[in-house]
């Protein structure tokens, strides 16, 4: 973790620029979020870049032809597979005149990754050619009665309900299931939760996990890459990645504040720079 500063530390040092008479003014957290977002999105600086490892899991496995970055990472800057650097090509790679043409995801790994874009609402997608129901599972009974709204396609048409696009599902412990079937899932809006959650497709007797979510996710958004099929097993499919960090909303006083760092004091937030960012957001 390339910081030693949390929300409480930032509040103690900077609250006076928002409201000198009240360190607990809720506007401070709003401005801190705006300031840290500007920092995170401002470029490739120490703290905004992190080395991560994608290991095979039930819902994120290159044996399926794709990997998805975890919630807290926005894009791949560099890749290393089996100790060898691998290029990552853009979304337009298969569409350029001098490009390779269409590369089917079911083909074997070709020594590269292809960007599939950002904004995916789940780590996996609904299996092509199926029209399953969606099952949303909560881990904490206190999250029952909250709302999750699913957006998607059915028979090449966007799904609507009486209150607008998408369909709303009220959570039940341990799980609740949509009556609506989906050919494609395009978006999710949900309340903040206390526990983690899982998302499954249900097609008859076939139950297939396609998503897992942290408690504070309300608009799930993931970046997906095509790897093609890596015909090995277990740890042989580990992919090392240099990733650009994604800004995540600060909620609790103990949340880490990631920002530009002092060259002379690695791990300490540059409070002067953060102050400037917050003041610009006022």
Total of domains in the chain: 3
The mean pLDDT of 242-252, rounded to a whole number, is 95
Evaluate whether residue 147 is within a structural domain: yes
User: Mean pLDDT in the chain?
Assistant: 90
**Hey, what are 10's tokens?**
């930032």
Same domain for 63 and 95?
A: yes
Give the pLDDT confidence score for residue 265 in this predicted structure. Answer: 34
User: Tell me: the pLDDT tens digits for 80-138?
Assistant: 998 899 999 999 999 999 889 999 999 999 999 999 999 999 999 999 999 999 999 99
Residue 128, domain member (yes or no): no
Please report the pLDDT score of residue 190 as a whole number. Answer: 98
On whether residue 63 sits in a domain, the answer given is yes
Neighbours of 85 (CB within 10 A): 10
Note whether 216 and 188 are within 8 A (CB): no
Confidence at 263, pLDDT banded by 50, 70, 90: very low
59, part of any domain? yes
The pLDDT of residue 268 is above 60: no
Q: Based on DSSP, count helices (H) and strands (E) in the chain, helices before strands.
A: 4, 18
CA dihedral 176, 179, 183, 187 (to 10 degrees): -50
| CB contact at 8 A, 224 and 117 | yes
Pairing assessment for the beta strands 197-203 and 157-158 based on DSSP bridges: unpaired
- Residue 127 domain-assigned? no
Question: What secondary structure letter does DSSP report for 190?
Answer: E
Q: Which residues of 107-133 are buried (b: 16+ CB within 10 A; e: fewer)?
A: eebeebbbbbeeebbbbbbbeeeeebe
- Dist. CA 169–CA 190, nearest whole Å: 9
Mark whether 137 and 209 lie in a shared domain: yes
Quote the tokens at residue 177. Answer: 């299931």
| Pairing mode, strands 133-138 and 113-115 | unpaired
pLDDT of 239 above 90: yes
Mean pLDDT throughout 130-149?
Answer: 98
When mean pLDDT is compared across 121-135, 181-195, 209-223, 263-277, the lowest value belongs to: 263-277
- Nearest Cα neighbor of 29 from 58, 53, 8 is 8
pLDDT > 50? residue 264: no
Q: Looking at the structure, do residues 14 and 141 belong to the same domain, yes or no?
A: no
The verdict on 112 and 227 lying in the same domain is yes
Count of beta carbons in the 10 Å neighbourhood of residue 171 = 20
Same-domain check for residues 193 and 260: no
What is the rounded average pLDDT of the residues 14-33?
92
Task: Tell me: do 154 and 208 sit in the same domain.
Answer: yes
pLDDT of residue 75 exceeding 60, the answer is yes
Same domain assignment for residues 55 and 188: no
In contact, 203 and 177? CB cutoff 8 Å: no
Q: Read off the pTM.
A: 0.88
The confidence score (pLDDT) of residue 47 equals 76
CA distances (Å), origin 125, targets 215, 224, 263 = 21, 10, 42
Q: Is the pLDDT of residue 276 over 50?
A: yes
Sheet holding 197-203, edge to edge: 175-181, 133-138, 197-203, 206-213
* pLDDT category of residue 7 using cuts at 50, 70 and 90: very high
Lowest mean pLDDT among 34-43, 118-127, 184-193: 34-43
**What's residue 169's pLDDT?**
98
Q: Which of 127-136, 191-200, 233-242, 271-280 has the lowest mean pLDDT?
A: 271-280
Q: Can you tell me the distance from the alpha carbon of 256 to that of 258, in angstroms, rounded to the nearest whole number? A: 6
Q: In percent, how much of the chain has pLDDT > 70?
A: 93
Residues 191 and 253 in one domain: no
227 lies in the same domain as 115: yes
**pLDDT of 46 higher than 80:** no
* Per-residue CA distances from 269 to 10, 35, 47, 210 (Å): 9, 13, 10, 37
Residue 164 has pLDDT above 70, yes or no: yes
| CA–CA gap between residue 264 and residue 240 (Å, rounded) | 29
207 shares a domain with 167:
yes
CA distance 259 to 3: 8
Does the pLDDT value for residue 261 go beyond 90?
A: no
Q: What are phi and psi of 161, to 5 degrees?
A: -130, -175
Identify whether the C-beta of residue 103 lies closer than 8 Å to the C-beta of residue 115: no
Residue 259 has pLDDT above 70, yes or no: no
Does residue 148 fall inside a structural domain? Answer: yes
Look up the domain containing 165 and give its range: 133-213
Same domain, 138 and 268: no
Q: Are residues 253 and 240 in the same domain?
A: no
Looking at 69-73, 107-111, 234-238, 261-265, which range is the least confident one?
261-265
* Domain-located, residue 1: no
- pLDDT value at 175 more than 50: yes
In a domain, 35, yes or no: yes
């Amino acid at each position: 973790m390339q910081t030693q500063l949390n929300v409480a530390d930032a509040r103690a040092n900077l609250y006076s620029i928002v409201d000198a008479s009240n360190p607990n003014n809720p506007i401070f957290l709003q401005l801190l979020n705006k300031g840290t977002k500007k920092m995170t999105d401002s470029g490739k600086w120490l703290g905004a870049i992190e080395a991560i490892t994608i290991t095979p899991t039930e819902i994120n496995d290159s044996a399926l032809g794709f990997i998805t970055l975890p919630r807290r990472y926005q894009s791949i800057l560099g890749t290393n597979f089996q100790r060898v650097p691998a290029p990552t090509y853009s979304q337009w790679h298969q569409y350029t005149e001098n490009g390779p043409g269409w590369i089917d995801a079911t083909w074997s790994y070709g020594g590269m990754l292809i960007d599939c874009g950002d904004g995916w609402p789940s780590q996996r997608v609904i299996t092509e050619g199926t029209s399953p129901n969606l099952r949303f599972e909560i881990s904490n009974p206190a999250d029952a009665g909250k709302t999750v709204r699913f957006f998607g396609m059915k028979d090449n048409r966007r799904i609507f309900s009486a209150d607008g696009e998408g369909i709303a599902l009220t959570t039940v412990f341990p799980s609740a299931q949509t009556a609506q079937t989906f050919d494609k899932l395009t978006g999710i809006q949900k309340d903040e939760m206390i526990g983690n959650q899982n998302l499954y497709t249900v097609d008859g007797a076939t139950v297939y996990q396609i998503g897992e979510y942290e408690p504070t996710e309300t608009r799930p958004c993931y970046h997906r890459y095509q790897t093609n099929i890596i015909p090995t097993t277990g740890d042989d499919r580990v992919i090392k990645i240099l990733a650009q960090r994604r800004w995540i909303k600060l909620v609790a006083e103990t949340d880490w504040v990631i920002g530009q760092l002092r060259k002379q004091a690695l791990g300490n937030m540059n409070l002067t720079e953060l102050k400037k960012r917050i003041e610009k957001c006022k």
